[in-house]
Structure 1
Amino acid sequence: MSEQKQQPHQVIHPPEENERKNATLIWRKHSAPVGGTAHAGDRAFIRRALIGSLIAVLVFALLGYFAYRNSSALKQAYAEVLIARGDFVKAGKFIDNLNDEAAKAQLMKKNFYAYAKKLDAENKLAEASALYLSAGDYEDSFQCWQDVTYRLAALYEADGDFQEAGEAFDSLQDYLDAPERGNACDYAFALERLEYGYYDEAMRLFYALGDYEQAEEYAKQSAAELSESEGAGDLVSLLVGLTDEQLAARAELKSERDVLPKGIIATGYLHTVARTEQGTVLATGSNLSGQCNVSDWTNVVSVAAGAYHTAALLGDGTVVACGSNKYGQCNVTKWKNVVNLYAGAYNTVGVTADGTILNTGFEAYSTVKWHSVAALSIGDFALCGVMENGGALSTVDSLITDEYVDLVSIDAASANSVGLKADGTPVSNGLDVAGLSGILAIDCTENGLFALKRDGTVEARFYNDSDAIDVSGWRNIVAISASATHVVGVTADGHVLAAGWNAKGQSEVDGWVLFTPEPTPSPMPEQTPKP
């Protein structure tokens, strides 16, 4: 028993039959290795440990790589979970921090849509309408937005909130009977303002309604209340009544405008086109998009040019077009009974004999509420117009101001516009046009304005002197057209002038003769009376 206690830790493995010289590692009480080749076991252990560690490192590296590669998918899946359980605010914040922009945009739309559905079910229509709109093209978001906004507008109307109702109905464009109900609400709101004595606001509201119901009479009634006020303004004077001298001056200017040639010349960004009296079309400048492929056109009565396309109205009321069709701006082959043609940067617009406005291209202009339209013009991204009462129309509200009244024409570029008043003076939403008068026609560009005066000269105004184009020497001009790069003018004898940039040959119009003026009849010699 005492011997066993002296050596409690000794373990001896008996050798096998084929005993090897390398003994298995044996540890005694003092941790001293026993065996003929004790250090060989240590090396084998270390090798196994190193190999195992290396494998572990590789495994963790692979796991890290796959985790990195799939982290976006995992985050997206988590966002889906948040949306599914209705935690929309938290989901929005989480989605906003995703790195995958495409997935981020789609998940954000889904979150807006799901949140809108919840609010819609709770009859929180205003909040739901805004969220459906934010959801963009996700599933049936647009249709849901139309439905909830229509119900919201009807609710405003029932509560007598005519301003809010009118704005909501107007935003729906041609959805169901929204245009009719929108006009009715606008009219009711104008009557309300008139009743409470807000004459200036009422006058402008009724004026904008044109010939709707008794809007014209109420506009004049509102103006009469303001006529004695200091600084009553041009609109008040117009509605109250002009003097005989003012009326005569306007009639004279109108007769001069009426004889100017229409649709005879047009400028794109880097090309120029013109109609001849034979009904053919001339073109010069860049033809990179085929915008100058007009040599076979005949029976043309007017031309229009966008940034990189050309359109023409034919004598039979149909329209042809060539050039860039990236946004469908040349899809005019089915148009019929067109009487007026216009082109913007990436759109083509036609007006039919019954007053219908046709449009194709980048912008989907909302004109369903427009009525009594006397003239149109297309800017780079907006459609503008003038009503028969001289009121301004625009698909972009920032292009017109309270001064845009009593107009005969309007023109716009990107963010700037100019209106021409019946008295021959221009108004603008930002350009200095003070001092200009006796104007017959205008052409607005992103750099400024070219104004054709009744004496046949052209006066220009620019935002920056570096963009100025000199046309001070032009005389006997009867038509103008301008782009951001150049300007052209047609003289009374049919020749064409050009000024500005000519990098692509857009100003090479020397030798163009569009028409031959009719000879002025010689005065009959006085006959000597017979005695």
Structure 2
Amino acid sequence: MPALAAGRRHSVLLRRDGSVLACGNGRAGECEVSSWSGITSVAAGNVHAARNTGRSHTVGLRADGTVVTTGWNGDGQTDVAAWDGITAIAAGWRTTLGLRENGTVVAAGRRIEGQCAVEEWREIVWIAAGDWHSVAAHADGTAVAAGNDLRGQCDVGEWNHLTAVAAGHLHTVGLQQDGTVVATGERRTGACDVAGWNGVVAITAGSRHTVALREDGTALAVGDNDFGQCNVHEWNGLTAIAAGSAHTIGLRGDGTVIATGCNADGQCEVATWNAHR
């Protein structure tokens, strides 16, 4: 199934045939995905907008449960060659997570803030990676988090009825079974202002903004809008969304891709993409 991923300065599209496209800043090799095939899911490492490294990584999940990566490996975040039995992936800043078919989680990359301390997690069905923290949803709908809790982004212990989670720079978002959304963490950016949302079927978190896909194919967004990354309210016919550090991309049902937000590195140059080709 076609899917999207967005990082600090690049965007990624998984096409229906299992091939992958990428655009944007590729100086660390994060856009070198043209040889990939048999991919079922993609993830892109994200970096807080204030950082100026310009380096990131891209992750792909193969149909056989193995994982392929490309890009920056400063903290070992692409050292995933030995992983197998993986059913889902997530990429953060200097971090990669993999969900195994038995409900456990593996991690590679930076460990200083504790974001890779996921060895004890069990019965996990969804994972997300932020800048300095990792989050997961259990099969029973509760959540667990590890890593930096500077703004309360790991305060998910009372959440329940979850079907998905997403992680940004200093905030965490959860999608509930009834289509409503909860959030915790840094509130000054507005990225946690999701209390009135409903009819949501998917969520994604950028560095300082949050985006939701509604069941009618429209999108919602809150948070930092300095680059227009939240200008998604006129989008329609969507089947997938992804939030990068300061840009947002959406996949339409006809296979085309749209983008808004920061395009300093060409990460929004997706007009020619089609997931069905």
Normalising by the smaller structure, the TM-score range is: 0.7 to 0.9
Identify if the C-alpha distance between structure 1 residues 297 and 460 changes in structure 2 by more than 3 Å, giving closer, same or farther.
same
Identify the residue that residue 166 of structure 2 maps to in structure 1.
411
The answer to whether the 8 A contact 1:383-1:395 is kept is yes
Contact 1:447 1:467 in 2 (8 A): no
Q: Which residue identity is paired with 1:339?
A: T
SS in structure 2 at match of 1:395: strand
Work out the CA distance in 1 between the residues paired with 2:64 and 2:176. Answer: 33
Match of 1:304 in 2: 43
Which structure is higher in RCO with an 8 Å CA cutoff and minimum separation 6? 2
Determine if the alignment matches structure 1 residue 426 to structure 2 residue 174.
no
Deviation at 1:435? 1.6
Deviation at 1:468, TM superposition (A): 4.5
The root-mean-square deviation of aligned C-alpha atoms, in Å, is: 1.8
Return the letter of the residue paired with 1:335.
W
Deviation at 1:367, TM superposition (A): 2.2
Matched, 1:325 2:76: no
Aligned-pair identity (%): 35
Paired positions, count: 254
1:490 lines up with 2:251 in the alignment: yes
Equivalent residues in 2 for 1:61-460, closer than 5 Å: 261=1, 264-307=3-46, 308-363=56-111, 365-396=116-147, 398-399=152-153, 400-401=155-156, 404-429=159-184, 430=187, 431-460=192-221
Report the alpha carbon displacement of residue 368 of structure 1 after superposing the two structures with TM: 3.4
Whichever of the two has the greater Rg, that structure is 1
State the distance in 2 between where 1:360 and 1:489 align. Answer: 28
Change (3 A) 1:383 1:288: same
Distance 1:486 1:408, change over 3 A: same
Structure with higher strand content: 2
Return the structure number with greater helix share.
1
Write the distance in 1 (CA, Å) between the matches of 2:242 and 2:199: 18
Q: CA deviation at 1:441?
A: 0.6
What TM-score does the superposition give when structure 2 sets the normalisation length? 0.86
Instruction: Give the C-alpha shift of residue 328 in structure 1.
Output: 0.7
**Aligned mates of 1:266, 1:327 — CA distance in 2:** 21
Structure 2 residues without counterparts, runs of 5 or longer: 47-55
Partners of 2:78 and 2:161 lie apart in 1 by 34
Task: State the 4+ residue runs in structure 1 displaced beyond 6 angstroms.
Answer: none
Q: 1:508: how far off?
A: 0.4
Aligned-partner Cα distance in 2 for 1:507–1:410: 24
Deviation at 1:395?
0.5
Contact preservation (8 Å) 1:272, 1:283: yes
| Aligned residue identity for 1:491 | R
1:282 Cα deviation after fit: 0.5
State the Cα deviation string for residues 429-476 of structure 1 (Å, max 9, x = none): 2422232111111111232211111110001111x4545431122111
Structure 1: runs of 5+ lacking an equivalent: 1-260, 517-531
- After TM superposition, the score normalised by the length of structure 1 is 0.46
Q: Which amino acid aligns with 1:374?
A: V
- Give per-residue Cα distances to partners, 1:195-249, cap 9 Å, x unaligned: xxxxxxxxxxxxxxxxxxxxxxxxxxxxxxxxxxxxxxxxxxxxxxxxxxxxxxx
